[in-house]
Amino acid sequence: MSANHAAKLEAKFRHAQDLHQQGKRRQAAKLYRSVLNARPDHCGALHYLGLLAHQEGNGETAIRLLRSAIERQPGYFDAIMNLGNVLQEQERFAEAADCYRRAIALRPAEAATHTNLSVSLRRQERLEGAIEAGRTAVQLDPDYLIGWYNLGNAYKVAQQYNQAIACYQKAIDLKPDLTLAHDSLCQSTYQLESRSVLGRVTFSKTRKAYEQWLACEPDNALAQFMLQAIHGKEPMPRAPDAVVRSMFDQFARSFETHLEQLDYRLPRMLPALLQDLLGPPQASLAVVDGGCGTGLCAPALKPWARRLTGVDLSGAMLERARKKGLYDELFEAELTQFLQQQAGAFDVAVYADTLCYFGDLQEVLRASAQALGNRGSLLFTLEAAAAQDGSRGFRLHPSGRYTHTTAYVQQTLQACGFAQIVIRSDSMRTEVGKPVEGLVVAARKSAP
């Protein structure tokens, strides 16, 4: 290739990069391919066409192109890092970690690479390595905001809450309006105070953490709600939509791993509960999974379902539910409002660990009765309250979840048109090392 032709090719490549940066992806892709047609080993065009493919949602194409760039230029740091980032987004954490180690070998002083490695190791539950990599990142750059935040995440997953709190506070000191760090600081402080075995638990440090958050973001709905929960004032009828959405959008990626750590038993219990309520599965019923989350209960519900519908407020959770391929339809909606528009549409409604974000159950149970056909069945779980726990039959706790008394649940179901009510006590998960006392509730819509 002549020097003149090579110069023109590089000018075309730089123009493609400019178009890419301007968001003109189609024109950029056309030019990248033109460069590769003339010179198939052009590592830059392979790299950036791979990045463009990733931005367009074509993950496998992105990985193939980035690997091709690295094969042709083994020391191509940016391509190695971006391959790691694409693999990380696809949750191929072991492969991503290998890329980050390779990048560290090339440039050991890059703090961001150590932080990315820390995230990969944390997501593999290799927590000692995650903490070590995270510590290296902030040692290299003590003002590295994301490094402190992600090191806090590694400590939090390892249940080393004092260390996690210190890291999140450092991140907040660097950027006082960093919402994610405030949220994680408050969660870690709550977990630490929940584990107190001496004296009365007051959650005083947790309250101060939420007050610090509100001083930076006075209108943050989650912080307002959680501070109310900690103060123990007269509770809202249910958690606001914005609060639930915020909680679970942030929680979506780690949700199932977190529940495994809590020994969440309900998906394993569901087949026997459904058998008792509905008889043997015949794939003949219209079933709604209210608050379906990532679809953890879908495998248990599917054998009974002619049509399986999922409903959740969190779009991020629904994206993960969609990937399971078990739902016939998914709706991003508030549960009560959704049910009010579905008169007689369902034979069965199941709310697994959903109504703990509702205090007053009357509206959602009345909507459930409207959405169920004649003799429709309802199955849901709650956290149990002591008989005297709140004059209204429910109470908001510092966890941000409601507990309910058995008497309140029984009376509300009857008032909303349900009969054949069975309420039994059981524990569906552990928290702070102790079983959480719950209620498993089954009922049938009263005959017209």
Which of 152-161, 248-257, 270-279, 362-371 shows the lowest mean pLDDT across its residues? Answer: 248-257
The pLDDT assigned to 435 comes to 80
The pLDDT assigned to 128 comes to 97
Please, where in the chain does CATH 1.25.40.10 lie?
3-108
207 vs 193: CA distance, rounded Å: 11
Residue 375 has pLDDT above 90, yes or no: no
Please, where in the chain does CATH 3.40.50.150 lie?
255-445
Residue 198 has pLDDT above 70, yes or no: no
| Domain at 3-108: CATH architecture | Alpha Horseshoe (1.25)
**How many C-alpha atoms does 227 have within 13 Å on its Cβ side?**
18
Residue 15 has pLDDT above 60, yes or no: yes
Helix (H) or strand (E) holding 311: strand 305-312
The pLDDT assigned to 399 comes to 87
DSSP code for 289: E
pLDDT band at 429 (very low <50, low <70, confident <90, very high): confident
299 vs 321: CA distance, rounded Å: 11
Could you give the angle at the alpha carbon of 48 between the alpha carbons of 44 and 53, nearest 5°?
Answer: 145
- The whole-number average pLDDT for the span 80-85 is 97
The pLDDT assigned to 283 comes to 95
Residue 92 has pLDDT above 90, yes or no: yes
Q: What percent of the chain has pLDDT over 70?
A: 95
Q: Strand 418-431 relative to strand 434-445: parallel, antiparallel, unpaired?
A: antiparallel
Q: For 390-408, write each residue's pLDDT tens digit.
A: 568 898 888 899 999 999 9
The CATH T-level fold of domain 255-445 is Rossmann fold (3.40.50)
Give the count of beta carbons closer than 10 Å to the beta carbon of residue 446.
15
**What's the pTM value of the predicted model, to 2 decimals?**
0.86
Tell me the β-bridge partners of 437: 427
pLDDT band at 249 (very low <50, low <70, confident <90, very high): confident
Could you give the angle at the alpha carbon of 282 between the alpha carbons of 277 and 286, nearest 5°?
Answer: 70
383 vs 351: CA distance, rounded Å: 13
Longest dimension (CA), the chain: 88
- The whole-number average pLDDT for the span 371-392 is 84
355 Cβ contact list (under 8 Å, min separation 6): 291, 361, 364, 380, 381, 382, 404
The pLDDT assigned to 82 comes to 96
pLDDT band at 262 (very low <50, low <70, confident <90, very high): low
- The whole-number average pLDDT for the span 82-108 is 97
318 vs 329: CA distance, rounded Å: 11
Residue 235 has pLDDT above 70, yes or no: no
